Amino acid sequence: MQSTFFKSEVKLLLTRLASVKIGDNSVEFFQNELGKAQELSADVRTNPDIQESHRERIEAAPKIPLTDANSQMLKHDLRPSPSGLELSYYRELANQDPALALTGLRIELEIIGQNLAKGFNIEVPKNASVARVFHALANGYAITNKQYNLVQSITRLANSAVHGAPISRDDANAVIDTADVLRDSYLSWLSWGFNENEPL
């Protein structure tokens, strides 16, 4: 079931990206953007820019096991994650197809963004791009500017891979690693944010 869902999501994404121009698909572009994403990811993890009261509530909230993440999303009428938020799913996929792994990661971010928008009652079109969804989330203070910038960087990397930038398995895994902090923030929000409708 998971692989069927993932394949249909990939087809939809590739259809939407068919006319998108990325610009320079060179190794240099990818490596420069990867460096930015790694710096942003470290900054989001060490300096999340969230209010102290929210930080305390996040730390006090019960942690949702990854095995329960999709059931929690379905319980709140949200879209389930293709990987169940297990980013190791994309790391394993990178062994066979690094570009496909990053395509999957982009889909993951898109679903997380749509779910956050629904949870925070922020209006976004159903088929809005990742950039548009997360821009609305940042404008609605549902995510921090640092989180928004990180999503933008990861999206540029994934789009570059989709459009033929030569990337290795290690490159793909390095990009996936930068998304761990976003996944962790989303899990925290799942554990306490539904009833509060307050930003991270």
Say if residue 21's pLDDT is above 50. Answer: no
Residue 4 located in a structural domain: no
CB count, 10 Å around CB of 95?
11
Residue 184 located in a structural domain: yes
Looking at residue 84, the DSSP 8-state letter turns out to be: T
Residue 102 located in a structural domain: yes
Residue 14 located in a structural domain: no
- For CA atoms 71, 74, 80, 81, the dihedral sign is negative
pLDDT band at 62 (very low <50, low <70, confident <90, very high): low
pLDDT band at 17 (very low <50, low <70, confident <90, very high): very low
Residue 168 located in a structural domain: yes
pLDDT for the residue numbered 18: 42
Say if residue 195's pLDDT is above 70. Answer: no
Number of domains in the chain: 1
Nearest Cα to 174, choosing from 160, 155, 154, 146? Answer: 154
Residue 9 located in a structural domain: no
Which range marks the domain in which residue 132 is found?
23-196
pLDDT 10s digits, 67-122: 778 888 888 888 888 888 999 999 999 999 999 999 999 999 999 999 999 888 89
pLDDT 10s digits, 156-172: 999 998 888 889 999 99
Cα distances (angstroms) measured from residue 21 to each of 15, 16, 167: 13, 12, 18
Among 24-33, 58-67, 82-91, the range with the most confident prediction by mean pLDDT is 82-91
Residue 105 located in a structural domain: yes
Residue 16 located in a structural domain: no
